[in-house]
Amino acid sequence: KAGVTQTPRYLIKTRGQQVTLSCSPISGHRSVSWYQQTPGQGLQFLFEYFSETQRNKGNFPGRFSGRQFSNSRSEMNVSTLELGDSALYLCASSLHSITPGTDTQYFGPGTRLTVL
């Protein structure tokens, strides 16, 4: 079974631009969560989508948004990029994120975003 895939793997943008990152979950997984990883803050939760609905949201500004499609694929968007948005953005999928034992999150390789 193919794992979680993320595209693109690397991205360079300049301040003020916007960016869209894509995530394809493991086949059959319906929950997709996004995380930001930086050396200073570690791994921080952005948001989670399940059945095309945002179910949880972390403490990030409104510039960070996401969506999920009917095939469970998800995208996240960051508008008006700032230097501090440079990070590894990770996507994780799980079956349905409710029942213990079926809620384990599996991560993709991440998208490395550099903002200049």
Partner 1 sequence: GQQLNQSPQSMFIQEGEDVSMNCTSSSIFNTWLWYKQDPGEGPVLLIALYKAGELTSNGRLTAQFGITRKDSFLNISASIPSDVGIYFCAGPSDGNTGKLIFGQGTTLQVKP
Using CB under 8 A as the criterion, which residues of the chain lie in contact with partner 1 when the complex forms?
4, 6, 31, 33, 35, 42-43, 45, 48, 50, 55-56, 58, 88, 90, 92, 94, 97-98, 100-101, 103-110, 112
Structure tokens at 46: 């952005």
**Do residues 64 and 78 lie in contact, with contact meaning Cβ atoms separated by under 8 Å?**
yes
The residue among 17 and 43 lying less far from partner 1, judged by its C-beta, is 43
Q: How far is the CB of 14 from partner 1 (least distance, A)?
A: 22
Q: How far is the CB of 2 from partner 1 (least distance, A)?
A: 14
The residue among 62 and 100 lying less far from partner 1, judged by its C-beta, is 100
Q: How far is the CB of 113 from partner 1 (least distance, A)?
A: 13
The residue among 19 and 108 lying less far from partner 1, judged by its C-beta, is 108
The residue among 18 and 98 lying less far from partner 1, judged by its C-beta, is 98
Q: How far is the CB of 16 from partner 1 (least distance, A)?
A: 27
Sign of CA dihedral 2, 98, 77, 14: negative
